[in-house]
Amino acid sequence: MTDFKDLVRLDLQSLATRLATGSPAQSELGTQEWLAVVQVLTTRILRDAVELSTDDWGLVAQAYAYAVDTAIAAGDFDHREKTYRALHLSSNLLRQVPANPDIELLDPHRMTELLIRELPMPVEQARAQAEHWTTLERSEILALRIAKEFLRPGLYLAHRAYGEHLPEPLNSWERVFPSLP
């Protein structure tokens, strides 16, 4: 049985090694503990990013994927939260370290593809709804806010991937971004 307090006291290398090997099992920690593991791991990745070698990044990426997927399976958050966290982590990491096409979190092209896939609506719908968002149903406003939260780090990633001239639909999303609630 894994002791949660001992687990989160581990340094990044030790924590990543444990998680990358599938330990602890989902059943060994509670739902909130899995969320805490994801948060601790994310904090340690951001703190130590500039010191990680290429081999370390493979281990850390595998550990991050396991921790997030296990937290989802434990019922603490959902796929949308996973996307939100990945976009923000990637955006913050790419402000510190070079892009790396072998590591999804460090690949602005793959992260931009994730953004496009996971946006909750087409850009045309967002543009039309943003013009009168105060009159929309709560669920429609929420979808617009989710789009904005995904775009906040996502547009940075898109510019890292494509430079100043974004392809569609990213260019249109960038134009509609300021009008989203």
- Judge whether 90 and 111 are in contact, CB under 8 Å: yes
- Judge whether 81 and 69 are in contact, CB under 8 Å: no
Q: What pLDDT score does 1 carry? A: 57
* Burial class of residue 115 in the structure, from the number of CB atoms within 10 Å of its CB (0-12 exposed, 13-18 middle, 19+ buried): buried
For residue range 51-72, list pLDDT tens digits in order.
Answer: 999 999 999 999 999 999 999 9
DSSP at 97: S
Given a cut of 80, is residue 2 above it in pLDDT?
no
| pLDDT cut 70: percent of the chain above it | 99
For residue range 79-100, list pLDDT tens digits in order.
Answer: 999 999 999 999 999 999 999 9
Indicate the pTM of the whole model. 0.94
Taking alpha carbons only, the member of 161, 162, 150, 164 closest to residue 176 is 150
For residue range 130-176, list pLDDT tens digits in order.
Answer: 999 999 999 999 999 999 999 999 999 999 999 999 999 999 999 99
For residue range 97-114, list pLDDT tens digits in order.
Answer: 999 999 999 999 999 999
Q: What pLDDT score does 9 carry? A: 95
For residue range 9-46, list pLDDT tens digits in order.
Answer: 999 999 999 999 999 999 999 999 999 999 999 999 99
* Burial class of residue 86 in the structure, from the number of CB atoms within 10 Å of its CB (0-12 exposed, 13-18 middle, 19+ buried): buried
Given a cut of 90, is residue 76 above it in pLDDT?
no
Dist. CA 75–CA 56, nearest whole Å: 29
pLDDT tier for residue 77 given thresholds of 50, 70 and 90: confident
Residues 6+ apart with CB under 8 A from 98: 106
